[in-house]
A and B are shown apart, each in its own frame.
Chain A
Amino acid sequence: MSEQQGLLEIKDIHISVEDKEVVKGVSLTIGRGEVHAIMGPNGSGKSSLSNGLMGHPSYKITRGEAKLGGKSLLDMASDERSRAGLFLAFQYPVAIPGVTVANFMRSAVLSHRGKDADMSDFRKLFKKEMSDLGVDASFATRYLNDGFSGGEKKRIEILQMSMLQPSMAILDETDSGLDIDALKTVSEGINRYHNDQNGVLLVTHYQRLLNYVKPDFVHVMMDGRLVKSGGAELALKLEDQGYEWVENELGLKAGV
């Protein structure tokens, strides 16, 4: 980890849901140009960490700090975090009936560019990103995530990321519910987005996404903590041997 060039710097973060601590002190630094993966069994606190960093109303950060590009995130409302460059691709994207994908996307882009910004390139950009992600043009006028299949929702999440070009993208279980073709398309989208100036944090249960998006660092999360870190080879070992060997090695129990 490039400690000096930290894009996202998390120090000793604790997160509670309904007074139950689910993230129990996580520290992590992600530098520009890096791809990190957090893997862990269900209930280990991966999604809580992602949601807490984005400011989800049910996930309270009780301790620690998180900075993006040197600015503290925790004092910001979720919209400010987004405009500061943080992005979360949701594990379960939310349906907003009555709001079309195109209108929503326009509002989101406008909020990032400022309300007097030139939006003349919007339509063209939107069309291109949709086509690159294999999203049918008809989705532009459909209501956001309303009746979309799991795969469609995930593509729309990546579409939003491509349009907003955040400096730091957290992808929460983006691979779940995807068939192999969708997984490839979505991975290509992530790879197109990623460059040496931005950071990616993949949060996933399985290794298969990491076949397509190569992580520089892999962290294992258990019981609210990052218990082990390594390179891409760690993901392969987890795929091969499950999480049990980590537990045994560290004397932990998973998923508690």
Chain B
Amino acid sequence: MAKLDSEYTIPDLAPELQRGPTWLQSRRQTLREKFNDLPLPPRGLHLWRYTDPSKFMQAQTAEASATGSRFADLIEQERKHLSESHLAGLVTDFAGRDIKALGVEKLAAKGVVITALSDAVESHLDLVEKHLYGLIGSEMGKFEAMNGALWNDGIFVYVPDNTTVEQPLHLLRESGGAGSAQFPRLLVVVGRNAELTIIDEYGGGSADKKADPAYSNGAVEIYGLEDSRTRYVSLQRNEAATNSYLTHRAKIASGASMLTVPLAFGGALSKQNFGVILNGPGAESNMYGMLFGSGRQHFDNHTLHHHAAGKTHSNIDIKVVLRDKAISAYTGLIRIDETAQTCEAYQENRNLLLSSGTKAETIPELEILNEDVSCSHGATVGPIDPIQLFYLMCRGIQLEAAQRMIVSGFVVPTLNRVPQDMRERITRFVDTRLENV
């Protein structure tokens, strides 16, 4: 168990975190100290203007319990998909500690590794040591250090060079109940000219608004080596009394492509940070995200496209739909290094507000250090256009149906940018959530 003391520091690591190779133990200790040394981010500071960081100061880890308690039906359904070869594998992760991989034997024959990170530090030491903490380490901030010190177990995925995993890999992460904290972690290495699709689903947590919230602090590191093709869907549909913090970083080499689909639907408070570093010529990153909030949900999302090499291409399209008193803050940073010539970077964030009590902020940020780039950003915040509504109603369509049509139409163009084979799965999640928005 890790516990925060009265001064919000981690006095020591639990014995179960003091296992494994020495380098890992020492990294954990360094990160623990880093966490203790760093103050809470001041509220005025860049990424903390909209969200109270003290909401994420919680470290009481969940007791292990039967995995998939809430997801029994979903797991059953995915087992069927596995047996019909519609799914490459299913990894269940309870409270960032109890990792089980299903259906991955077939992939093992191709050299694909899907395993608990705690096993991988032994079995694939070279790969893990080279990559773990490489993208999300102590330099990123207090909460990244917190995950780095306290992750109990994580998931490790490795696809060897020239290997294609044809069906998606589903990672199902379930948070513990009220008052619990979890620190899920994911490390993915996609080899040269290899191909992988991951659906990384975060659910569960606490639904009890009267009790302490469940807390999840996740870290996702993805490496796409030369000419690899990676598609990563992050689906957050936590229960209503769950606070979550997620940092995602991917680095892609020359000729590699990365599709990131952040979908944020659930929880009470959700702060997510998705970033892709384009590290070699010809690298391409696309992010197509959707966020639906209702009630008093609070979302705070940040994206980063960092062009560290020339002749790279990035595109972001994030759609936000809010109703009741939901809040969303989005900041999107495009950074283009001085040496990264001839880049293209586009960013668009549109917010549709269905109730007058909602609030949306959208802040594009550009740090462009050379002239030879094509760059654009667009942002809109507004209610449903009454003239669109009028037009649909003039054809006999009732008010509510017309509203639903416009909301669905608002997200569909973003959804349609997702490749056909993934779209079907995502559409299901989106439709289910839209029914309640």
Whether B395 contacts A160 by the Cβ 8 Å rule is yes
A127 within 8 A of B: no
Question: Using Cβ atoms and an 8 Å threshold, which residues of chain A touch B392?
Answer: 96, 104, 108
Q: Which of B391, B394, B401 contacts A96 (CB 8 A)?
A: B391
Question: Using Cβ atoms and an 8 Å threshold, which residues of chain B touch A104?
Answer: 392, 395, 405
Whether A112 contacts B396 by the Cβ 8 Å rule is yes
B44 within 8 A of A: no
Whether A56 contacts B406 by the Cβ 8 Å rule is no
Question: Using Cβ atoms and an 8 Å threshold, which residues of chain A touch B396?
Answer: 79, 82-83, 108, 111-112, 164
Q: Which of A88, A99, A112, A143 contacts B394 (CB 8 A)?
A: A88
A77 within 8 A of B: yes
Question: Using Cβ atoms and an 8 Å threshold, which residues of chain B touch A97?
Answer: 409-410, 412-413
Q: Which of A57, A78, A94 has the most CB atoms of chain B within a 10 A radius of its CB?
A: A78
Whether A77 contacts B393 by the Cβ 8 Å rule is yes
Q: Within residues 82 to 120 of chain A, which ones have a CB less than 8 A from any CB in chain B?
A: 82-83, 87-88, 90, 93-94, 96-99, 103-104, 107-108, 111-112
Which of B178-186, B195-203, B382-390 forms contacts with chain A?
B382-390
A10 → chain B, closest Cβ, in Å? 18
Q: Is the interface of B mostly helix, strand, loop or mixed?
A: helix
- In the bound complex, CA of A79 to CA of B411 (Å): 24
- B100-141 to A contact mask, C-beta < 8 Å, 1/0: 000000000000000000000000000000000000000000
Question: Using Cβ atoms and an 8 Å threshold, which residues of chain B touch A55?
Answer: 390, 393-394
Whether A98 contacts B413 by the Cβ 8 Å rule is yes
Whether A98 contacts B397 by the Cβ 8 Å rule is no
Which chain B residue lies CB-closest to A87? B394
Known interface pairs A79-B399, A104-B405; A98-B393 also in contact (CB < 8 Å): no
Question: Using Cβ atoms and an 8 Å threshold, which residues of chain B touch A98?
Answer: 408-413
B398 within 8 A of A: yes
Which chain A residue lies CB-closest to B412? A98
A54 within 8 A of B: yes
A114 → chain B, closest Cβ, in Å? 11
- A118-156 to B contact mask, C-beta < 8 Å, 1/0: 000000000000000000000000010000000000000
Question: Using Cβ atoms and an 8 Å threshold, which residues of chain A touch B366?
Answer: none
Known interface pairs A55-B390, A57-B386, A107-B401; A99-B395 also in contact (CB < 8 Å): no
B402 within 8 A of A: yes
Question: Using Cβ atoms and an 8 Å threshold, which residues of chain B touch A111?
Answer: 395-398, 401
Known interface pairs A107-B401, A111-B398, A111-B401; A78-B393 also in contact (CB < 8 Å): yes
- In the bound complex, CA of A57 to CA of B406 (Å): 17
B77 → chain A, closest Cβ, in Å? 28
Question: Using Cβ atoms and an 8 Å threshold, which residues of chain B touch A54?
Answer: 390, 394
Q: Which of A79, A90, A164 contacts B402 (CB 8 A)?
A: A79
Question: Using Cβ atoms and an 8 Å threshold, which residues of chain B touch A79?
Answer: 393-399, 402
Question: Using Cβ atoms and an 8 Å threshold, which residues of chain B touch A108?
Answer: 392, 395-397
Q: Within residues 391 to 437 of chain B, which ones have a CB less than 8 A from any CB in chain A?
A: 391-399, 401-402, 405-406, 408-413
Question: Using Cβ atoms and an 8 Å threshold, which residues of chain B touch A81?
Answer: 394
- In the bound complex, CA of A56 to CA of B389 (Å): 10
Whether B393 contacts A96 by the Cβ 8 Å rule is no
- In the bound complex, CA of A143 to CA of B405 (Å): 12
- In the bound complex, CA of A103 to CA of B386 (Å): 20
Question: Using Cβ atoms and an 8 Å threshold, which residues of chain B touch A90?
Answer: 391, 394
- A71-83 to B contact mask, C-beta < 8 Å, 1/0: 0000001110111
Whether B405 contacts A99 by the Cβ 8 Å rule is yes
Known interface pairs A57-B390, A90-B391; A99-B397 also in contact (CB < 8 Å): no
Whether A99 contacts B398 by the Cβ 8 Å rule is no
B210 → chain A, closest Cβ, in Å? 39
B234 → chain A, closest Cβ, in Å? 23
B75 → chain A, closest Cβ, in Å? 33
B7 → chain A, closest Cβ, in Å? 51
Question: Using Cβ atoms and an 8 Å threshold, which residues of chain A touch B395?
Answer: 79, 82, 104, 107-108, 111, 160, 164
Q: Which of B390, B399, B401, B405 contacts A56 (CB 8 A)?
A: B390
A sample of 28 cross-chain residue pairs with beta-carbon separation below 8 angstroms, ordered by A number, consists of A55-B393, A57-B386, A77-B393, A77-B399, A79-B398, A81-B394, A82-B393, A82-B394, A94-B385, A94-B388, A94-B390, A94-B391, A96-B388, A96-B405, A96-B406, A97-B409, A97-B412, A98-B409, A98-B411, A98-B412, A99-B408, A104-B392, A104-B405, A108-B392, A108-B396, A108-B397, A111-B397, A143-B409
Q: Which 5 A-B residue pairs are closest in the complex by CB-CB distance?
A: A98-B409, A98-B412, A82-B396, A108-B395, A111-B396
**A-to-B contact residues, CB < 8 Å:** 54-57, 77-79, 81-83, 87-88, 90, 93-94, 96-99, 103-104, 107-108, 111-112, 143, 160, 164
- Further contacts, 12 of them, CB under 8 A, given A55-B393, A94-B388, A111-B396: A55-B390, A55-B394, A57-B390, A78-B390, A87-B394, A90-B394, A94-B391, A96-B405, A98-B409, A108-B395, A160-B395, A164-B396
